[in-house]
Amino acid sequence: MVLNYHIEGGDFANAGTASSQIKKTLKQLSVPPVIIKRVVVALYEAEVNIVAHAYKGEIVVSIDPERIQMILDDEGPGIADISLAMQKGYSTASEEVRQMGFGAGMGLPNISENADSLNIQSKVGKGTKLEIIVKLS
């Protein structure tokens, strides 16, 4: 099953819509709550990253009996140093974004902690593509 979502940069009011929808779907599929929680946390963080940093992005979630694959492809500034971005507490978020309670530098580390695999590709000035996988079995 494949589900698609479009995310607008800067739309904090609706940040979390995709992860909320995915949560609903996984609940209806009777996926164990522990796994749902990991998917929702990882996807929410990634979704907020697009809202906070990029201009826009697409999310494609595919669910099969073995795993949940989430691909988040954005048009944005990209990440200059991925290993630095993976460090807890590192953030390039603006003061404005931080005041909204985001940008604590926990996004990517949090995704990584909840995912079975995380693959990041980024081009500075172009955008970032994340592939997050959470295994179901």
Partner 1 sequence: MKGEAFQHALKIEHDVCIGCSRCIRVCPTEALRVRQGKAQLYPDWCIDCGECYRACPTRAIVVESDDFNKIFSYKHRVLLIPCLFTGQFPQTISEDDIYHALYQIGFTQIVEVETSVDFLAESIDQYIENNPKPTISSFCPAIVRLIQVNYPSLIDNLMHLKAPVDITAEYCKKQLLQKGVDENDIGIFYITPCAAKIAAVRAPVGEYGTVITSVLNMDDLYNKTYHQIKQNKASDIQCKHTSELSDKSIRWTLTNGEAGNIKGRCLAIDGMDNVIEFLDKLEDEDTCNFDFLEIRACDESCPGGILALGNRFLAVEHMKHMAEKAPAVSQLPSEFSFTYDMIKAGNIEERSMVKYDKDIGKAIEKMERAKKLRRQLPNIDCGACGAPSCEALSDDVVRGESKISYCIFIQKQQEQSGDLSNEQSFEIMEEIWGKHKFRRK
Contacts to partner 1 by CB under 8 A: 1, 16, 19-20, 23, 25, 27-31, 33-34, 36-37, 40-41, 44, 63-65, 136
Angle at which helices 17-28 and 33-53 pack, to 10 degrees? 160
Which is closer to partner 1, CB of 33 or CB of 80?
A: 33
Strand stretches in the chain, DSSP E: 2-8, 56-63, 67-75, 117-123, 127-135
Smallest separation (angstroms) from partner 1 to the CB of 83: 25
Q: What are the backbone dihedrals phi and psi of residue 84, each rounded to the nearest 5 degrees, phi first?
A: -70, -40
Smallest separation (angstroms) from partner 1 to the CB of 90: 19
Which is closer to partner 1, CB of 126 or CB of 135?
A: 135
Which is closer to partner 1, CB of 64 or CB of 81?
A: 64
